Amino acid sequence: MESYQSLLGVITHFCTCCFIFKLFFQLKRTRARENYIYIE
């Protein structure tokens, strides 16, 4: 039971990291697009 709980914690941590990274990447991409529009 203990190992299962730790595994679940690792998976949750990994998913959280992935979610934050995806959100950050999306924000960066939209910001880059806005900058591109401003340059034009």
| pLDDT digits (tens), the chain, 40 positions | 788 899 999 999 999 999 999 999 998 888 877 777 776 5
Taking CA atoms, 8 is separated from 12, 17, 19, in Å, by 6, 14, 16
The boundaries of the domain holding residue 35 are 1-40
pTM value surpassing 0.85: no
Report how many domains make up the chain.
Answer: 1
